[in-house]
Structure 1
Amino acid sequence: MDVLSEKLNEEKVFKDPVHRYIHVRDKIIWDLIGTKEFQRLRRIKQLGTTFLTFHGAEHSRFNHSLGVYEIVRRIVDDVFARRPEWDENDRLLTLCAALLHDLGHGPFSHAFEKVFDLDHEEFTRAIILGNTEVNAILSRAGADFPKHVAEVIAKTSDKKQVISLISSQIDADRMDYLQRDAYFTGVSYGFFDMERILRVMRPREDQVVFKHSGMHAIEDYIMSRYQMYWQVYFHPVSRGAEVILTKILHRAKDLHGQGYEFKNEPLHFYSIFEGSVTLEDYLKLDESIILFYFQMWQEEGDFILSDLCRRFVNRNLFKFAEFDPAREYKKLTELTDLFRKAGIDPDYYLVLDSSSDLPYDFYRPGEEEERLPINLLMKNGDLRELSRESAIVEAISGKRRTDHKLYFPGDFLLDESTKKNIKKQIRSILDY
């Protein structure tokens, strides 16, 4: 039997709080889900440190990856099926890319990447193309099939229509995480009428377009995304937890570089500290491993590392103050000097964190982070870019919003057993 069309004897389903059921009929998809590389995603939280703000946000990359797969399955099996603009030969390629798109995420995802200069997309490609269970299963569909899947995820494939289903300004990835993250955080911002959006989707040669009659559902989706970023993803408490997480990893790396002898050796980190991490090393890392070290490092002799770990493990987070680096850069210099005089290391305890988002953009060819626009299919067959038809979307198009916060340990500044006058001066500047 052709692997591309091989089906399970009986359909498998996953019960899902967002999509009700996730349906698996293709044997290759079922086998991919069972690989150790995909199962590892159960141990990677979808929202990183957000669980310290929204206690329900314990869902994983595994949940999300299944959700993206299910949305794409519905599109290619129900919405696009038998439409002449859709090539049925791309069906399994699209499903595999949707399922595996987040395969290379590390523990605490973006924060972890930032500290160690890693790229989860590179690891996704390495898992798909390397000596892995995932590669062995994909290769059953053809020697070049893993390469084609990796190219779709990397957005280098010539199958632009397939790419747009998984990575665009309105794609299955975003449609799943907005609803899933809203559900698990308990907020209402991320919900939108996905059923309506799926009904008005139409395949075109190089992209997916949407019937004009569905414009208001797309407006709702874009505003949901906007609200989720500012109410959940950029929540200042979650960002503060990520600041501490980042500083723990920096401190451990710095101590290793200084030849510090750990009571609890960071065996899983050595190759990462030294910039020689292999795929095998990387796949051994998940959040249970990271949290184990944080738990143990609370007892380290280095005060900064043990203090930061205690803060993260016990949720004793930093306080924060609004800060405008364009107007207040002298204040930051002054605070840095005062922190040093107070005996508080500003490299670890005075942190400027910035959040930025562009909710929607029209086409800007050649620019960094170039984004293909959302196009509406008019009754006469013409395509119109969304912001030209929607006053709501036009109002936010191309407008990047940025927020800056200054994080610091409030308890250190209230302890006046030493450096009382300096700490009082710091509190005055921070209005704390």
Structure 2
Amino acid sequence: MQNKLKIINDPVHGFIRIPHEILFDIIEHPYFQRLRRIGQTGLLNLIFPGATHTRFHHALGAMHLMFTAIETLRQKGVKISEEEEKGAMLAILMHDIGHGPFSHALESMLMDDWHHENLSLLLMNRLNDEFNGELSVAIEMFQGKYHRKFFNQLISSQLDVDRLDYLKRDSFFTGVSEGNINTQRIVSMMNVCEEGELVIDAKGIYSIENFLTARMFMYWQVYYHKTSALAEFLLVKILERAKYLVSRGISLTATENLNYFLHRGKSAATEEDIQRFTQLDDNDIIQAMKSWQNSDDFILSYWCRCVIQRNLPKTVISSHAYNRDFIEEKIKNVNEFFEIDNGAELVHEIKRKLLPYDTEKQPIYLLQKNGQKIRMEESQDQLLSGLMINKTTRYILTFPRDMPAIIS
């Protein structure tokens, strides 16, 4: 009989245990193995060469942190059954199972407005049928329907094990040390209050503030870095352009499954949609972009060359929106330089905004020694929380690099 209680060596967390056989069965399933071929951070490796880690890595790391969190809560007197432990670990293991190629960037392009969480839930239900109902508790927790609220908060909140893993992991693989949070310290400060909600022991406030600032720095330094934002934007525009050309009857070389989605109209997900989606990964998109570099369509071939040859358009960033007349002038210059009439396709303003700490969406609570809980930003010990409740917006203007200097 096969030993399914394996130990995995992870570069971020060290050894990761698989304490339940069903976890191993899910990891071995083709739906989950597909995550090996989907990058955690899209095209971020064009800016940070080490960022080649995958959703597969991240899901295992999040599962490990969930196991650690459950052990911590048990030590503090929180009763958690084996069935609940199994359910919570399964839920976080599968939370990204519905991600499409290049993660967030293309999910709406391929399946209309289907968010990856909707697809994850759909695939979880299919796996639940396949494994005779063993995932029912996990699905309840994932949806926030389980009667003990803290399980859903560990899966999805402003301080969940998903964020704890991706911040530390992305920091490790990008080499950006500002995101290197102390996950062990944060998890050790987790607790559950009388109402059954996830809270943080009051003495852990500075670790949580460090987590929030690390996340803020990672967004502006890594995820929302102007070239990172541009690369993600280009992926969307490439697929958008390809779908437009196909709708006009123009043939484009693509793998069978990608070709299916290029021709797919707007409709509810069908059985064939799901079957094909679960065979789609980053390789399909990369192969298509390599081929489309030679497309007769100037816009499509230009964008694909930008990505594949890493000759990315130029970007300038500002805290204020760019003047419309200024943008129109750049479009005119592009038309003249390339001798085209659709230069508006090559000049864009990309907007990115971030609210480091949302006091309305599941605020973080501190558990004081007297058993009372208070919102973190209201604590007399807080140093930074009150400064992170304001939204920051940046505007990125992009235009072809191989033009004369057109920014004055």
Distance apart, 1:73 and its partner CA: 0.6
Which residue pairs with 2:123 in the alignment? 127
Distance apart, 1:397 and its partner CA: 3.4
Which residue pairs with 1:185 in the alignment? 174
Q: Is contact 1:42-1:60 (8 Å) kept?
A: yes
* Map 1:278-293 → 2, pairs under 5 A: 278-293=273-288
Between the aligned partners of 2:304 and 2:261, the Cα distance in structure 1 is 21
Which residue pairs with 1:92 in the alignment? 86
Whether 1:314 aligns to 2:304 is no
* Map 1:1-400 → 2, pairs under 5 A: 11-76=5-70, 78-81=71-74, 83-88=76-81, 89-115=83-109, 116-130=112-126, 132=127, 135-137=129-131, 139-141=132-134, 145-146=135-136, 148-204=137-193, 205-262=195-252, 268-272=258-262, 273-276=264-267, 278-323=273-318, 326=321, 328-340=323-335, 342=337, 343=340, 345-362=342-359, 364=360, 371-389=361-379, 390-400=381-391
TM-score if structure 1 supplies the norm length?
Answer: 0.85
Q: Which moved more, 1:149-158 or 1:168-177?
A: 149-158
Q: Which moved more, 1:20-29 or 1:149-158?
A: 149-158
Q: Is contact 1:361-1:398 (8 Å) kept?
A: yes
Distance apart, 1:320 and its partner CA: 0.9
Q: How many residues align?
A: 396
Pick closer, same or farther for the CA change 1:13–1:289 going to 2, 3 Å. same
Query: What is the CA deviation profile of residues 188-225 of structure 1, one whole-angstrom value per residue up to 9, with x for unaligned ones?
Result: 01112222222221123432111111111111111111
Distance apart, 1:124 and its partner CA: 0.4
Distance apart, 1:158 and its partner CA: 3.9
Q: Is contact 1:375-1:385 (8 Å) kept?
A: yes
Structure 2: where are the runs of 5+ without partners? none
Distance apart, 1:324 and its partner CA: 5.8
Distance apart, 1:117 and its partner CA: 3.0
TM-score if structure 2 supplies the norm length?
Answer: 0.90
Pick closer, same or farther for the CA change 1:281–1:347 going to 2, 3 Å. farther
Between the aligned partners of 1:179 and 1:271, the Cα distance in structure 2 is 34
Pick closer, same or farther for the CA change 1:316–1:326 going to 2, 3 Å. closer
Distance apart, 1:265 and its partner CA: 7.2
Distance apart, 1:333 and its partner CA: 3.7
SS at 1:209 equivalent? strand
The aligned amino acid for 1:329 is: R
Distance apart, 1:129 and its partner CA: 1.2
SS at 1:33 equivalent? helix
